[in-house]
Amino acid sequence: MTGAVCTYALITPTRNEAANLERLAASLVAQTHLPARWVIVDNGSDDATVDLAHELERAYPWVSVLSVPGDPEPRPGAPIVRAFHAGLNALEVRADVIVKLDADTSMEPDHFERLTTAFTEDTDLGIASGTCLELSGEGWKAIPVTAGHVRGAVRAYRRACLDAVLPLEERVGWDGIDELKASVLGWKTRMLPDLPFYHHRALGSRDQGRAARWRSQGNASYFMGYRFSYLVLRALHHSRRDPAALMMISSYVAAGVRREQQYDDLAVRHYLRERQSLRFLGSRAREALGKTAQT
């Protein structure tokens, strides 16, 4: 991609996202660098989402719509990943960058021009996103992450990196496993600190209650191979704002007692545990608190 325009395609899983989809579409139409394709994958909507998606398909040649059957009792995280896989399989263009794009986002008109430029300028960049802004009482506020973590709401993959980490895990934690696997394979993963996007729904607000969300996180942490000590510290950190975060600990322990399956790539699990070791704890805590600039 060096020295050439970097093409990109978008895949948006949707379920009852009519209001959000309309706002996102307006944001995309205004982009200074349009996508080669935007695949809207509906996963069982019963509102106006599908009708709106087909209106967009008729209006713009770079939009296509796909419907996949919903799962009445899905594993948390699975519907989004399945919809993304379906959209990827339906792509008839070979874009340089593939973006998993949530319907509840919007961005400035030059967002994707700048995002794809980052991939053009750094040939080792495998997965990237902008900085997530969420609305609070003080206005739009950046949500800090630890180094190497990429926001799932606007998650861009270099196609070669995506091919290397596929298939994505159909469960909560998929957006940690793919980063770890990419890193083990030699790709860079990072958030771009000067490239904001707007997230119009608070993280986890669609989950079945706060406790369910944190239990899923604890279970996912066991699957990924987290150090138990790190998981406890993470739970304590989040419990300052939401005491239900302590449910991560009991969920992690319960998964261990049941001897649930863990991710089977030992190199990835070893890499994760190395990053969670004591010598990195200080820097990761500063990153989580937003006190270290992401690069």
Say what the pLDDT of residue 21 is.
97
Quick one: pLDDT band at residue 136, thresholds 50, 70, 90?
A: confident
Say what the pLDDT of residue 280 is.
57
Q: Are residues 155 and 255 in the same domain?
A: no
Tally of residues, the chain: 295
Say what the pLDDT of residue 4 is.
59
Looking at the domain assignment, is residue 223 inside a domain? yes
Range 90-94 average pLDDT: 93
HSE-CB at 228 with a 13 A cutoff on CA atoms is 8
End position of a domain, from candidates 137, 169, 199: 199
User: Is pLDDT at 254 greater than 50 in this prediction?
Assistant: yes
Task: Please tell me which of 142-151, 183-192, 273-282 the model is most confident about, judged by mean pLDDT.
Answer: 183-192
Structure tokens at 38: 């935007």
Would you call 191 helix, strand, or coil by DSSP? strand
User: Is pLDDT at 166 greater than 90 in this prediction?
Assistant: yes
Quick one: pLDDT band at residue 148, thresholds 50, 70, 90?
A: confident
Range 24-40 average pLDDT: 98
Looking at the domain assignment, is residue 2 inside a domain? no
d(CA 85, CA 82): 5
Nearest to 220 by CA among 262, 274, 162: 262
Say what the pLDDT of residue 295 is.
45
Say what the pLDDT of residue 3 is.
47
Amino acid at position 197, single letter = F
Q: Are residues 123 and 267 in the same domain?
A: no
Looking at the domain assignment, is residue 3 inside a domain? no
End position of a domain, from candidates 138, 170, 199: 199
Q: Are residues 230 and 132 in the same domain?
A: no
Q: Are residues 231 and 162 in the same domain?
A: no
d(CA 15, CA 246): 30
Quick one: pLDDT band at residue 138, thresholds 50, 70, 90?
A: confident
Place of tokens 């009519």: 18
Quick one: pLDDT band at residue 294, thresholds 50, 70, 90?
A: very low
Looking at the domain assignment, is residue 161 inside a domain? yes
Say what the pLDDT of residue 108 is.
98
Say what the pLDDT of residue 2 is.
45
End position of a domain, from candidates 199, 234, 260: 199
Range 238-263 average pLDDT: 95
User: Is pLDDT at 34 greater than 60 in this prediction?
Assistant: yes
Q: Are residues 159 and 263 in the same domain?
A: no
Looking at residue 36, which CATH number applies to its domain? 3.90.550.10
Domain count, the chain: 2
Looking at the domain assignment, is residue 28 inside a domain? yes
d(CA 181, CA 82): 19
Say what the pLDDT of residue 202 is.
64
Q: The dihedral of CA 38, 43, 44, 45: what is its sign?
A: negative
Q: Are residues 173 and 269 in the same domain?
A: no
Range 157-161 average pLDDT: 98
| Range in 203-207, 210-214, 261-265 with the lowest mean pLDDT | 203-207
User: Is pLDDT at 71 greater than 90 in this prediction?
Assistant: no
User: Is pLDDT at 208 greater than 60 in this prediction?
Assistant: no
d(CA 247, CA 249): 5
Q: Are residues 72 and 100 in the same domain?
A: yes
Looking at the domain assignment, is residue 295 inside a domain? no
Q: Are residues 123 and 226 in the same domain?
A: no
Say what the pLDDT of residue 170 is.
94
Looking at the domain assignment, is residue 53 inside a domain? yes
> In terms of residue numbers, what domain contains 223?
210-288
d(CA 174, CA 168): 6
Q: Are residues 91 and 190 in the same domain?
A: yes
The whole-chain average pLDDT of the chain stands at 90
Looking at the domain assignment, is residue 205 inside a domain? no
- More confident site: 288 or 60: 60
User: Is pLDDT at 211 greater than 50 in this prediction?
Assistant: yes
Say what the pLDDT of residue 285 is.
53
Say what the pLDDT of residue 145 is.
78
Q: Are residues 181 and 139 in the same domain?
A: yes
d(CA 131, CA 273): 25
Mention every residue, 6+ apart, whose C-beta is less than 8 A from residue 231.
218, 221, 248, 249, 252
Range 273-287 average pLDDT: 69
Structure tokens at 128: 């990237």
User: Is pLDDT at 75 greater than 60 in this prediction?
Assistant: yes
Decide if 285 contacts 291 (C-beta within 8 A).
no
Q: Are residues 77 and 191 in the same domain?
A: yes
DSSP state of 74: P
Q: What is the pLDDT of residues 215-234, one digit of tens each?
A: 999 999 999 999 999 999 99
Q: Are residues 167 and 231 in the same domain?
A: no
